[in-house]
Amino acid sequence: MQLFFRKSGSGPPLIILHGLFGLSDNWATLARRWSERFTVHAVDLRNHGQSPHAEEWDYDVMSDDVVELIRAEQLQQVRLIGHSMGGKVAMRLALDHPALVQRLVVADIAPRAYVKNQRDVVEALLSVDMENLASRKDAEAQLGQRIQDPGTLQFLLKSLYRKENGGEKKFTWRFNLEVIGRKLENISEATNQPAPCFVDTLFVRGERSDYIGSEDETEIAGVFPHSQIVTIPGAGHWVHAEQPELFFEAADRFL
């Protein structure tokens, strides 16, 4: 699949992968900073942003999409950053194609399977009356009945846009909610085989997040023996958005 991506800068290649319900735009500020030293490819993964929608949706096919991008851009070896779902795509790619990855940064996700899978967010999105949606404020009000966190609410609304449909413009989501809703369990799966992977890897976790706990450290070391873990103070799961300066410093030193 030919993915949409935003390319900027010059220098060694750096690929950035967003999380579930995200898009490349979420990384615009950090991508701009890294573009001073790297050729940055900020990617929309399949079923997200401006990339194509498809029925197949799991870590294998998403990793294959990024490999296709690497080869289409004639890149020899890349630095790779991924947050949450994007972090698992990045891990899958590094495990399957270690020769393509020079350095790997995984933001707030471990290679294990997860019980929580954002089903509540899917239900909230499905509750929005898209057919009769009059404005972004209307969407915000409807979503706000189920999602109280302002940051999560605004994050989701970034993917709301108007699309031409039968001569009129109607609101829709840039992510493929129908497929995501049916195949959400695929995103909870582990990405820890085959192992080990000897790519130099940095795991960046948020101090207030429970996605990478102390119990995950042994498995991380087993799957990625050349890895280290840093904790960003005052950050939750959206570590790169909540503490962008601290995240940038930690990732940039490693890159």
Three-class SS of residue 172? strand
Radius of gyration of the chain (CA): 18
Residue 94: CA atoms inside 13 Å, Cβ hemisphere, count?
34
What is residue 183's predicted lDDT score, i.e. its pLDDT?
A: 96
Cβ atoms within 10 Å, residue 242: 18
What is the per-residue pLDDT across 210-231, written as a single tens digit (0 to 9) for each? 999 999 999 999 999 999 999 9
Is the distance from CB of 125 to CB of 173 less than 8 angstroms? yes
Which run of H or of E encompasses 125?
helix 119-126
The verdict on whether omega for the bond into residue 111 sits within 30 degrees of 0, i.e. cis, is no
* Nearest alpha-carbon partner for 201 in 232, 230, 224: 224
CATH class of 5-113+190-254: alpha beta
Q: What pLDDT sits at residue 164?
A: 76
Q: Which of 18, 41, 48, 237 is flagged as catalytic?
A: 237
Angstrom distance (rounded) from CA 62 to CA 90: 9
Q: Are 66 and 15 in contact (CB under 8 A)?
A: yes
What is the predicted pLDDT for the residue at 117? 75
- Check 35, 84, 209, 227 and give the catalytic one: 84
- Calpha distance 106→82 (Å, rounded): 5
- pLDDT tens digits along 176-206: 999 999 999 999 999 999 989 999 999 999 9
CA distance 5 to 24: 7
According to the model, what pLDDT value does residue 27 have? 97
56 HSE (CA, 13 A, CB side) = 8
Query: Which ranges of the chain have pLDDT less than 70?
Result: 166
Is 127 a residue of the active site?
no
Report phi then psi at 227, rounded to 5: -125, 160
Alpha-carbon distance 163 to 142, whole Å? 20
How many Å apart are CA 169 and CA 248, to the nearest integer? 38
Structural domain spans, the chain: 5-113+190-254, 119-182
Instruction: State yes or no: is 209 an active-site residue.
Output: no
| Integer Cα distance of 192 and 50 in angstroms | 29
Q: Is the pTM of this model over 0.85?
A: yes
